Structure 1
Amino acid sequence: MTRFGYTLMTEQSGPKELVRYAVSAEQVGFDFEVSSDHYFPWLSSQGHAPYAWSVLGAVAHATERVELFTYVTCPTLRYHPAIVAQKAATLQILADGRFTLGLGSGENLNEHVVGKRWPTVARRHEMLREAIQIIRELSTGELVDWKGEYFEVDSARLWDVPDTPVPIAAAVSGERSIETFAPLADHLIAVEPNKDIVDSWHEARRATGLPGDVRVIGQIPICWDPDRDAAVARAHDQFRWFAGGWAVNSDLPTTAGFEGATQFVKPDDVAESIPCGPDLDAIVEAISEYWKAGFTDIALVQIGDEGQELFLKEAAGPLLEKLRSASK
């Protein structure tokens, strides 16, 4: 059965609000919750960027049932993989085994803040590959020394190792990344309902003798609101960066860059790619593309902080009922 999740968007809400929304999302019936891990919002109008790991630690204690994911953390520039391994292990203990570590090759928007040169895509993938290997080694609780092409680990050990190992989900976008990460990760993360990517991931795992049918985790933005015009305006104000695509978005370094890159994106352009307004059936239709492509887990992004409480109170429950009925 398809699982449906709620996105804790650290770019559009403060830390206390995110914890409150997480509790409400669990109560209304979401199966899991994913958190972005940003240092910057994409656009200044979003206005937030709290530290995701502090938020997730609070959410782990405030919730009881929902699974938790990072969606996604880059363990190569802003964070050293040894530190990510420690954070993930600690969060898994706090969450009583409900946590999955979602990893990706990062965005310049967040990683440039530590003053390191932004690598090419191929090099970012190689760095992520090595980082995953280090995280796996440390997760055993054994003493680790590592001297690789990109990272060094000097006599490191995790002293608090969870009883339930932390699963790793890797974000991929094409054949090269699938070939690299399918043998290393437990689950797949993809941001577009592309069946070819899903099938290629399963095939790549089976070719190495690993289980082919694993979790495939996607995400889709929606902007529910009783007033469609208000929904379109809010989506345009805070989510027009989405129109650029990841090939562009991953390289832009600042909110000013995103402002400039999206200055000619019109509200109608956003409304064509993001379901906006009160029509739950239209939202279900947009989301259905993911389970038709083979996604097992689909996280919803309700755009805008000001719309969260009303969405969770009035729309989330009926929407989940429709989604579960349609996806059977």
Structure 2
Amino acid sequence: MRIGYFLSSEEFTPAQMLEQARAAEQAGFQGLWISDHFHPWTDAQGQSSFVWSMIGALSQISRLPVTTAVTCPTMRIHPAIIAQAAATAALLHEGRFVLGVGSGEALNEHIYGDAWPSAKVRLKMLEEAVELIRELWKGDFVYHDGEHYTLENARIYTLPDTPPPIYVSGFGPRSVDLAARIGDGYISTLPDRDLVRRFRAGGGRNKPCQAGFKAAFADSEEEGMRIAYERWPNGAIPGELSQVLPSPRHFEQASQLVKPEMMKDVFVCGNDPEAHLKMIESYKQAGFDELYVSNIGPHHEGLMALYAKHVLPNVR
């Protein structure tokens, strides 16, 4: 299993993410995930840098592969612009870039005041967007009059020799089936064997499966729980709320239902390497090929050292 590091655009400044990317490469991580947000989940996280600027900057300081985890090419940014951005990213990273896409959250995508579509409609939009992106990557003029998007006289001139792969995220049966049908790979955050099996049975076969989880490194599990609860209580919000709540203040309101002790059920808290290895093993047993860990809070140096000395050697 390949182990990478997850850069959180919601919590860290651009300079901090570049510092973490350098440290991750030195520690022996094998790839980078980076999130794409217009808003953080809560004000305590406090950041939301533009992911495409960050991807360009990463190409100049790291040789690690980079995956967007994930960007939504349907509402906030038109799929034609995503196609252009991803083509440039693939060139800058010399083929080490993966476009990870998903159907998005209202938190980031509703900002123009449009109605928030149902999950069924969002998946249809995603499918059409991916089709349009791939058509633009052929290098010809594109004329498209679809159900959700229209293009006229659109051509991308700056293209890599080989288009980047598109991985599709999915957390329910319909989205996993779509990922299996149109994706070059699958993205999730759940160590769910049934979802991976569904992806592979639905057409994913031997395509790569990526996943990610969060940790809160600290001197004790209790301190890690405190940091996680302070910064990411939304991580324990159940169900579909994360897709439909429209602003950080709504996530803060929903997070009042979350208790501090619930953090250890969704994040790895503290500094015990066995806890990290146990989490990694759960994703490995579920069938994932790549796994990306993000550190919540101020102690990323400690997590990097832990992984370099005690986690990565034992995984490999």
TM-score normalised by the chain length of structure 2: 0.97
Q: Distance in 2 between matches of 1:273 and 1:16?
A: 27
Find the partner of 1:275 among 268, 278, 296.
268
- Indicate conservation of the 8 Å contact 1:29/1:320, yes or no: no
- The Cα of 1:246 is off from its aligned counterpart by 5.3
Q: Distance in 2 between matches of 1:246 and 1:197?
A: 16
Find the partner of 1:224 among 199, 217, 230.
217
Aligned length: 316
User: Paired residue for 1:310?
Assistant: 302
| Cα distance per residue 1:263-317 (max 9 Å; x no partner) | 131111112332211111012112211010000010101112x1123322x2231
TM-score normalised by the chain length of structure 1: 0.93
Q: Tell me, which stretches of 5 or more residues in structure 1 are unaligned?
A: 206-210
- Indicate conservation of the 8 Å contact 1:30/1:320, yes or no: no
Q: Is 2:253 the partner of 1:260?
A: yes
Aligned residue for 1:101, secondary structure, equals strand
User: Paired residue for 1:149?
Assistant: 147
- The Cα of 1:247 is off from its aligned counterpart by 1.2
- Indicate conservation of the 8 Å contact 1:219/1:299, yes or no: yes
- Indicate conservation of the 8 Å contact 1:142/1:158, yes or no: yes
- RMSD (Å), alpha carbons: 1.3
User: Paired residue for 1:50?
Assistant: 49
Q: Distance in 2 between matches of 1:197 and 1:303?
A: 26
| Cα distance per residue 1:31-70 (max 9 Å; x no partner) | 1100000011101111111111101110011112x11000
- The Cα of 1:235 is off from its aligned counterpart by 0.6
Q: Distance in 2 between matches of 1:323 and 1:258?
A: 37
Q: Distance in 2 between matches of 1:152 and 1:19?
A: 37
**Percent of counterpart pairs with the same letter?**
34
User: Paired residue for 2:240?
Assistant: 247
- The Cα of 1:319 is off from its aligned counterpart by 4.1
Q: Is 2:287 the partner of 1:294?
A: yes
User: Paired residue for 1:13?
Assistant: 12
- The Cα of 1:143 is off from its aligned counterpart by 1.0
Q: Distance in 2 between matches of 1:144 and 1:163?
A: 19
Q: Distance in 1 between matches of 2:247 and 2:257?
A: 18
Q: Distance in 2 between matches of 1:277 and 1:324?
A: 19
| Cα distance per residue 1:105-162 (max 9 Å; x no partner) | 0000001212221110000000000000000100111111101000011111110110
Q: Distance in 2 between matches of 1:193 and 1:308?
A: 23
Aligned residue for 2:292, secondary structure, equals strand
Letter of the 2:220 partner, please give it. D
- Indicate conservation of the 8 Å contact 2:3/2:312, yes or no: no
User: Paired residue for 2:22?
Assistant: 23
Write out the 4+ residue segments of structure 1 that deviate beyond 6 Å after TM superposition.
Answer: none
Q: Tell me, which stretches of 5 or more residues in structure 2 are unaligned?
A: none
Q: Distance in 1 between matches of 2:239 and 2:14?
A: 26
| Cα distance per residue 1:142-195 (max 9 Å; x no partner) | 111101000011111110110231100000122222332322110001121111
Aligned residue for 2:5, secondary structure, equals strand
- Indicate conservation of the 8 Å contact 2:44/2:231, yes or no: yes
Aligned residue for 1:155, secondary structure, equals strand
